[in-house]
Amino acid sequence: MKILKFIISWQFWVSVIIVIAISFVLLQGTFLWLNAYTNHGVQVEVPNLSNLNLEQAIVKLDESNLEYEIDTSKYDPKYKPYQILDIYPLVGSNVKKGRRIFIRANAKTWKPVVVPNIIGKYKYLAFSQLDLVGLKVSDTIYEPNLAVNTVIKILYKGKEVQPGVTLPRFSPLTIVLAKGLAKNVSVPSFIGLDETTAKGMITENLFSVGSIIYDDPEDKGNARVYYQVPVPSSTYDQGQAIDLYLSSKPLEKLKDKIRNLDQTFNRRFINDSDSLNLSSPVNEFENSPSTHNNTTNTHNSETNTSPPPPKTNTSREEHRRPNRVIIE
């Protein structure tokens, strides 16, 4: 009975009416806010950007209060740099202000590529790797080296580049390949050099370092090469060993030893009355910069009318070194 009396009382109905009125006002206010927030009923037509460059397209989208996202990751040489290729939503579509527009534009140029590591690889495999990443081989150069037809260096515009650097796509490269070792190469002179310098020169000329023989192993610091086998200016195959004889003694004390070595390796004797010919290790030692400060040449040059000795050929096929005799 109390509940029935409350329902039919005026206080109850007044409360109901107030609740309904408040709910109606809240709902209307919410809808009005949503319309204003979402620009309900306000639409913008997607403009035509096909004849514009990227900078002009951005200005036009900003004027239309449209957001945009641009993709320029790919390059197509058929189109101009930054030319608009695609747009979504399609041109003419009605979208709300602030809608994000997706644009695909042509890149300015090819994306740079990384030079692969092809050093030491066979040339055809190396060329295939370069082609896969978009680099071209414009020329090949051959240099002496043991590994025939393998890549020694990579050149770009005349300068050496290392694997891992980035270059423009389709860049022309010059590949330096190994052609193997040469035969009958003229042997340079190592007379007057210290051990480290002489070894470096031997390696640079693609010979191998043979025996290193010191007169006094306790005094290596001041020792210089006074004799080498094969001798300077003789012909020899690359890759073969060159032996070095070193001493820190003055030249006057080494002449007899050099003559003995000449005899050991079947070279012409140098008589006291002879002027020292240019191919002689004695003369090489005397003319080297490292010996000018330590020794004085007491021999006056005389005219040598005798014919020069025949050039020794010490190629791998003809040169056979006898057993060495090291004279202390």
pLDDT score of 275: 31
Strands 241-247 and 208-214: parallel
pLDDT score of 262: 86
Instruction: Verify that 91 and 124 share a domain, yes or no.
Output: no
pLDDT score of 194: 92
55 closest CA partner among 80, 90, 28 = 80
Give per-10-residue mean pLDDT for the chain (328 aa).
Answer: 70 83 86 68 76 84 84 86 85 78 87 94 95 94 87 95 94 92 88 92 90 87 90 88 91 86 68 38 48 40 40 41 36
Would residue 319 count as lying in a domain?
A: no
Would residue 230 count as lying in a domain?
A: yes
Boundary (domain end) residue, out of 77, 105, 133: 105
Instruction: Verify that 101 and 117 share a domain, yes or no.
Output: no
The CATH number covering residue 84 comes to 3.30.10.20
Instruction: Verify that 204 and 287 share a domain, yes or no.
Output: yes
Instruction: Verify that 230 and 276 share a domain, yes or no.
Output: yes
pLDDT score of 127: 96
Task: Give residues with Cβ within 8 angstroms of 172, minimum separation 6.
Answer: 136, 137, 138, 139, 156
Write down the pTM of the prediction.
Answer: 0.47
pLDDT score of 56: 86
pLDDT score of 303: 36
Instruction: Verify that 131 and 172 share a domain, yes or no.
Output: yes
Would residue 52 count as lying in a domain?
A: yes
Instruction: Verify that 272 and 226 share a domain, yes or no.
Output: yes
Would residue 70 count as lying in a domain?
A: yes
pLDDT score of 176: 95
Q: Is 192 within 8 Å of 288 (Cβ atoms)?
A: yes
Mean of all residue pLDDT scores within the chain? 78
Express as a percent the part of the chain with pLDDT over 90. 28
pLDDT score of 297: 39
**Structural domain of 118:** 113-178
Instruction: Verify that 192 and 265 share a domain, yes or no.
Output: yes
Instruction: Verify that 206 and 254 share a domain, yes or no.
Output: yes
Would residue 316 count as lying in a domain?
A: no
Instruction: Verify that 281 and 231 share a domain, yes or no.
Output: yes
Task: Give residues with Cβ within 8 angstroms of 221, minimum separation 6.
Answer: 248
Dump pLDDT digits (tens) for 223-244.
999 999 998 988 888 888 999 9
Helices (H), ranges, 38-74: 54-63
As for how many domains the chain has, the answer is 3
